[in-house]
Amino acid sequence: ILAGDLRKPLAGRRAVVTSGPTHEPIDPVRYIANRSSGRQGHAIAAALAQLGAEVTLVSGPTRLPDPPGCTVRHIETAREMLAACEAALPADIAVCAAAVADWHVAGPSDRKLKKDGGGPPALELAENPDILATLSAPGGRRPALVIGFAAETGDVLAYATAKRARKGCDWIVANDVSPGTGTFGGSDNTVHLIRADAVESWPTMTKEAVAARLAEAAAAYFERI
Ligand code: CTP
Ligand code: CA
């Protein structure tokens, strides 16, 4: 009989996990970013590795140490994140937990923008690639299990269910990030796991506990197929 933390149900499985924010340069010293801590994504990478998976974590800038047992690719922009994910394929599992910037600055300046008396500069934005949708697209390299996140306010389940269909992923982990929930940057998370045919609402728990439960769900998925 093996102790709980010695079970390796994901041995031989490869996983790619995105985590953290992306930074999109405006000029050499400024960037567009968001408040993601990376804590949930890093915890998922560690939890998958603990169950025996060979994990590549593709992370934007965070203050977190590299999780144990994972290969970590440090990137800054969404376009770099996509390239690093594609370089990590083939994989059995993809988990997109990063808070990817939706836009980058078209043609960032290679010199620091100056106040030149002409008023503030206008930033022209261009859409970033959608990493989750790209990894979810049908094709020979599509991971068997693609999991996205949906941080929403308001009707969380309705928005997240629509997002799952739009992205083409298998599962969506939905959470409420309204002010006061403390989710963004906080240590706890209250999530719903949305699959094609079922929604599970999990009690509030630490992000590490959410990660462990999600990794177990992934292991159970591969035991069934
Ligand atoms: N995602 C991604 N690449 C992007 C944007 C989002 O991989 N360029 C992933 C996130 O990692 C997450 C999921 O897509 O797993 C949902 O992200 P979200 O920002 O909620 O979705 P969007 O399609 O950007 O929709 P919204 O307009 O609500 O921001
Ligand atoms: Ca977005």
Q: What is the pTM of this model?
A: 0.96
Peptide bond connecting 90 to the previous residue in cis, omega within 30 degrees of 0: yes
Tell how far the Cα of 133 is from the centroid of ligand 2, in angstroms: 12
Q: Whose CA is nearest to atom 9 of ligand 1?
A: 132
Cα–Cα distance measured from residue 60 to residue 58, given in angstroms and rounded to the nearest whole number: 7
Ligand 1 proximal residues by C-beta, below 6 Å = 18, 78, 96, 98, 100, 102, 128, 130-132, 148-151, 163
Alpha helices in the chain (DSSP H): 39-50, 78-87, 131-136, 156-167, 207-224
Instruction: Give pLDDT tens digits along the chain (225 positions).
Output: 565 568 999 999 999 999 999 999 999 999 999 999 999 999 999 999 999 999 999 999 999 999 999 999 999 999 999 999 999 999 999 999 999 999 999 999 999 999 988 899 999 999 999 999 999 999 999 999 999 999 999 999 999 999 999 999 999 999 988 887 777 778 999 999 999 999 999 999 999 999 999 999 999 999 987
Cα–Cα distance measured from residue 188 to residue 151, given in angstroms and rounded to the nearest whole number: 14
* Cβ neighbours of 157 (radius 10 Å): 16
DSSP state of 54: E
Q: Is 93 annotated as a binding residue?
A: no
Tell how far the Cα of 99 is from the centroid of ligand 1, in angstroms: 7
Residue 180 is predicted with a pLDDT of 78
Which atom of ligand 1 lies nearest, measured to the CA of 127? 8
Residue 215 is predicted with a pLDDT of 98
Q: Is 203 annotated as a binding residue?
A: no
Cα–Cα distance measured from residue 36 to residue 177, given in angstroms and rounded to the nearest whole number: 11
User: What ipTM was assigned to the predicted interfaces of this complex?
Assistant: 0.99
Residues designated as active site:
34
Our mutation pick for probing the ligand 1 site, out of 82, 132, 176, counting the most ligand atoms within 8 A of Cβ, is: 132
